[in-house]
Amino acid sequence: MSRTTSESPLEAWPSPPEAGPVPAQPAPKRPVGRDSSRPGGPRREGNRRRRQRPPVTTTTAKTGISLREYGQYKELFYNLTLRELRSKYKRSVIGWGWSMINPLANMAIYTIVFSALLQIHPPEGVPSGVHNYAIMLLAAMLPFNFFQGSVMESMGSLLGNQNLIQKTYFPRELIPGATVASKGVSHLIEMGLLLVSVMAFGNWRAPLFIPEVLVFMVIVATFALGLSLLFSLGNVFYRDIQHFSGILFFIWMFLTPVAYPYYIVGGGLNGSTGTFATAKYVHLLGHSVSLGGLFKANPMTDAVLAFQQFMYNGSLPSSTYTQEFNLSPQVIPAEQVKIGTHFQTVPAHTVVQHVFAVIHANVSWADCAYLLVWAVAALVVGLAVFRKYESRLPEEL
């Protein structure tokens, strides 16, 4: 005997089974002696229906957001960060390799221009002994690129999540925060590769300062998050900010000793020969002001100098070391020296002089505290301004 079965495709909502005519049911009896206007009648049923209404979804920002509320949205923050990481190199052949190709290409260009053409020599790392322009450049350029990229990419994050913002409420500062977090993951990979390169050039002291490097990465991320909140919010109301920010960060980079060593403006050890460059001064309002002091008013100067102190010099801020330097050898020609009544010929020889110098770190703990104050202040101001205008985001978008 053969059995035939018929299969039908699955549906999202199953259809009710077909039924015959429904028999008429007697109307429910009304309780005797109970009025509909009294409690327990249809009025109570109406109240019960009102209480069972589904909650109304709102897109209006709440006031007084606490850390507990942020904890309730940690899964959303994780998904936003993961989406940023996945979409960054989507449909790319090299993929995450671009996170190192871009800084390496910039390193090659800056090395050719500043080191080969302009003959700018990096200082010798004390006490690491590293003397390489590319390592000095990467130790400063990677943190600055992380800071710049976080602010620039988060600037359009609110515009890119327009549908999500207009659909339901959640702390909207999580959107630029997820962009900064995704950049932090890329920066962590880049710093790991820099650590391997530094050790390959002989700086075995750099792994000792991994905890300090991680702390300063958090400080720079805090500073970037504060500015990201301000720039992303301002870009919603004024789209000119997105075009202005490119010029701002281009100027900001050259006001930070990234492509050139700090001794050019603030003085200090020049090269590996034991010579020192003098600090430069400018006249402002009739007063002579150190150019290095003006550059240190920029908090990112202290940030890149701190990273160079850890990764390039292999020491802590405010540290002092006594370093021995071998000066350029001098060739003494042959000469005759009179000894008593006789002359004796001294053959030509080479003289090598040794110089001991006290080397101070370019960044101090006070400079690090100055950077921390800027980072916390930027985050506090950014959160305050963002929460003030957050309720207008669904309308403006």
What confidence tens digit (pLDDT) does each residue in 254-287 have? 999 999 999 888 887 776 555 677 888 888 887 8
The single residue listed with the structure tokens 């995450």 is: 96
Q: State how far the Cα of 110 lies from the Cα of 137, in Å rounded to an integer.
A: 8
Question: What is residue 28's predicted lDDT score, i.e. its pLDDT?
Answer: 54
pLDDT at 383 over 70: yes
Mean pLDDT of 323-338: 69
Q: State how far the Cα of 299 lies from the Cα of 290, in Å rounded to an integer.
A: 16
- Helix, strand, or coil here: 45? helix
Mean pLDDT of 64-84: 82
State the average pLDDT for the chain: 80
Mean pLDDT of 154-162: 88
* Residue 276 near residue 135 (C-beta atoms within 8 A): no
Question: What is residue 113's predicted lDDT score, i.e. its pLDDT?
Answer: 86
- Helix, strand, or coil here: 177? helix
pLDDT at 150 over 90: yes
Question: What is residue 376's predicted lDDT score, i.e. its pLDDT?
Answer: 97
Mean pLDDT of 233-244: 88
Range from 24-33, 98-107, 177-186, 270-279 that averages highest in pLDDT: 177-186
The more confident residue out of 189 and 353 is 189
Question: What is residue 336's predicted lDDT score, i.e. its pLDDT?
Answer: 72
Q: What is the pLDDT of residues 187-231, one digit of tens each?
A: 998 999 899 989 998 889 999 999 999 999 999 999 999 999 999
Mean pLDDT of 132-150: 93
| Per-residue 3-state assignment (H helix, E strand, C coil) for the chain | CCCCCCCCCCCCCCCCCCCCCCCCCCCCCCCCCCCCCCCCCHHHHHHHHHHCCCCCCCCCCCCCCCHHHHHHCHHHHHHHHHHHHHHHCCCCCCHHHHHHHHHHHHHHHHHHHHHHHCCCCCCCCCCCCCCCHHHHHHHHHHHHHHHHHHHHHHCCHHHHCHHHHHHCCCCCCHHHHHHHHHHHHHHHHHHHHHHHHHHHCCCCCHHHHHHHHHHHHHHHHHHHHHHHHHHHHHHHHCCHHHHHHHHHHHHHHHCCCCCCCCHHHHCEEECCCCEEECCCEEEECCEEEEHHHHHHCCHHHHHHHHHHHHHHHCCCCCCEEEEEEECCCEEECCEEEEECCEEEEECCEEECCEEEEEEECCCCHHHHHHHHHHHHHHHHHHHHHHHHHHHHHHHHC
Mean pLDDT of 175-197: 92
The more confident residue out of 236 and 64 is 236
Question: What is residue 243's predicted lDDT score, i.e. its pLDDT?
Answer: 86
Question: What is residue 312's predicted lDDT score, i.e. its pLDDT?
Answer: 93
Question: What is residue 351's predicted lDDT score, i.e. its pLDDT?
Answer: 65
Q: Name the least confident of 111-125, 143-157, 338-352, 377-391.
A: 338-352
Q: State how far the Cα of 267 lies from the Cα of 280, in Å rounded to an integer.
A: 7
The single residue listed with the structure tokens 């992380």 is: 146
Q: State how far the Cα of 205 lies from the Cα of 16, in Å rounded to an integer.
A: 74
The more confident residue out of 373 and 272 is 373
Q: Which two tokens stand for residue 260?
A: 């050139």
pLDDT at 61 over 60: no
Under the banding of pLDDT at 50, 70 and 90, the label for residue 56 is very low
- Helix, strand, or coil here: 8? coil
Question: What is residue 6's predicted lDDT score, i.e. its pLDDT?
Answer: 42
pLDDT at 19 over 80: no
